[in-house]
Each structure stands twice: as structure tokens, then as C-alpha cells.
């Protein structure tokens, strides 16, 4: 699997970029993908259209948008770009606007970048590391942080037992779906955070997780005990016959922990 610093080379990082609106911010990130031979202008248009059609669900944490679209012929190889804005812009998200950082992903498939997504989620969830990325004076400084140690340092509360103790639990292995519009970007971010919480709880042997898109989620709902997703995607899904928990900050282990506790009455 590709490392995060390999997918985001120094040349794909721009700081203090002026953008008049969210479309301009996405375009700036897409232009870096094009310049690096990762994708074509058509993919940048697809990233913009993704927000227009599905809403600002790509704003997955306060101040952070993860721009992406489905794998398509416009993607030449898997890669990412990093744009820190000079002035934050609004995407229309209810809680996470305004956005000052846009990271764009172009993927040839849904699997090759999974490890990198987990690494990025851990970096942005760490307050000190996130602050360091915001203060980094040069693209080279950002890249050094992206290439650094992302090991979890902070201790976290753990829950003993198993899902069998909760009022909504069933016997046997459970599955929780994390859902986004395309199944290759923001859902992987949320899956990484969910997996981290499950590891802390020692529940990984009881619950599996799967990142998927809105269309597939409706068909897979019967296999799962719950869905975690954004408010916009939850509205798109509607009633799927299982609990749907809205997560505002996809990098927040605290918020995901709370959603799990609510789901399993812990």
C-alpha cells in the first residue's frame, strides 16, 4: 500500500492559496493533481459535481474538506494534493465551515490508498500534529510532518465486555458500515476512526467495519447492525431499516465513541 507522504509529494502541496469560494478551493487542489500527472481536468470537474449533487459531506472535520470523486478514466494514477487556504471559505456545511484545508484524492480503485487514509486521519485527529500542519511555513515542512511518526500517543478510555451486553446488540459478529457518496474517500476516513475506537474497546473481534457508497449501503444494510455517515448522506439514505448515526467530525474518536455507546447502550 502507498504511504501518505508518497501520495502527497512536496510538489502537490501549496500553502496560503487564495480562493474566492469552495469551487475555487477544489479547483486549486485539482490543478495540483493535474500538474502531477495524477488526473485530468475532467476529474476536477467531477469533484466539484460531487459536492453539487451530494452536498458538502466532504467537509468531514472542522475546517477540513476531503475532495474526491469516484474512480474514473479521468484518473491516471492514485495520488493526492494538499491546499492550505489563505482565507477560509464556506462549503455550506452546518457545523464544520469555514474550511481552511482542502486535501484532494484521485484513486484508481478503492483499496490501494486505505493505509494512507488511516495515517491522514490519525494525523488530523491529533491536536498537536494538526496545529503543526497549520503552522508549517513551507511545503517541505508539511511533507516532513506527513512522513513522520503517526503512532497514537494518548491513552483512551476502554470498555470491557462485548457488544452482547447492549440492549440493541445481537449475537455473533456485527458489521457497521461507514458511508459516503463514492465509498473511496470520506467513508475510509470514518472507518479508520471507528476501527481505532473499536481497538481501544477491544471489540475488534466482535465487530467488522466496511466503507461503502450510498447505493451499495442500501443493499448491504441487511448485513449490518448500523451505519455511520454524514448528515447529508444520512438524508440521502433515508430509512434503511437499521440505525443511522450522524458523525460531524470524521476524525473525532470522542464523537465516534459516543455514537457507539449510544448504539450499544454502554
Active site residues: 68
Q: How far apart are the first and last CA of the chain?
A: 35
CA 30 to each of CA 110, 175, 187, 194, 261: distance values in angstroms, whole numbers, following the listed order: 19, 34, 20, 28, 38
Q: Which residue has the cell 448485513?
A: 223
- CA 166 vs. chain centroid, Å, equals 28
Q: Give the total residue count for the chain.
A: 266
Amino acid at each position: 500500500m502507498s504511504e501518505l507522504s508518497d501520495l502527497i509529494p512536496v510538489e502537490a502541496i501549496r500553502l496560503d492559496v487564495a480562493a474566492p469560494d469552495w469551487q475555487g478551493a477544489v479547483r486549486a487542489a485539482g490543478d495540483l493533481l493535474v500538474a502531477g500527472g495524477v488526473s485530468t481536468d475532467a476529474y476536477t470537474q467531477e469533484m466539484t459535481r460531487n459536492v453539487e449533487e451530494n452536498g458538502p459531506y466532504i467537509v468531514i472535520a472542522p475546517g477540513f474538506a476531503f475532495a474526491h470523486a469516484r474512480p474514473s478514466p479521468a484518473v491516471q494514477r492514485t495520488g493526492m494534493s494538499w491546499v492550505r487556504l489563505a482565507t477560509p471559505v464556506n462549503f455550506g456545511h452546518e457545523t464544520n465551515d469555514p474550511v481552511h484545508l482542502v486535501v484532494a484524492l484521485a484513486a484508481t480503485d478503492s483499496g490501494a490508498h486505505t493505509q494512507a487514509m488511516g495515517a491522514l486521519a490519525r494525523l488530523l485527529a491529533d491536536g498537536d500534529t494538526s496545529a503543526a500542519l497549520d503552522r508549517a511555513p513551507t511545503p517541505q515542512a508539511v511533507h516532513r510532518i506527513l512522513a513522520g511518526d503517526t503512532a497514537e500517543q494518548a491513552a483512551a478510555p476502554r470498555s470491557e465486555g462485548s457488544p452482547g451486553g447492549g440492549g440493541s446488540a445481537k449475537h455473533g459478529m456485527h458489521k457497521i458500515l461507514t458511508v459516503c457518496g463514492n465509498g473511496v474517500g470520506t467513508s475510509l476516513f470514518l472507518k479508520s476512526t471507528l476501527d481505532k475506537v473499536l481497538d481501544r474497546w477491544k471489540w475488534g473481534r466482535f465487530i467488522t467495519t466496511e466503507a461503502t457508497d450510498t447505493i451499495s449501503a442500501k443493499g448491504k444494510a441487511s448485513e449490518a447492525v448500523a451505519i455511520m455517515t454524514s448528515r447529508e448522506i444520512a438524508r440521502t439514505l433515508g430509512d434503511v431499516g437499521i440505525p443511522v448515526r450522524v458523525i460531524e467530525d470524521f476524525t473525532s474518536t470522542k464523537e465516534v465513541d459516543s455514537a457507539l455507546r449510544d448504539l450499544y447502550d454502554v
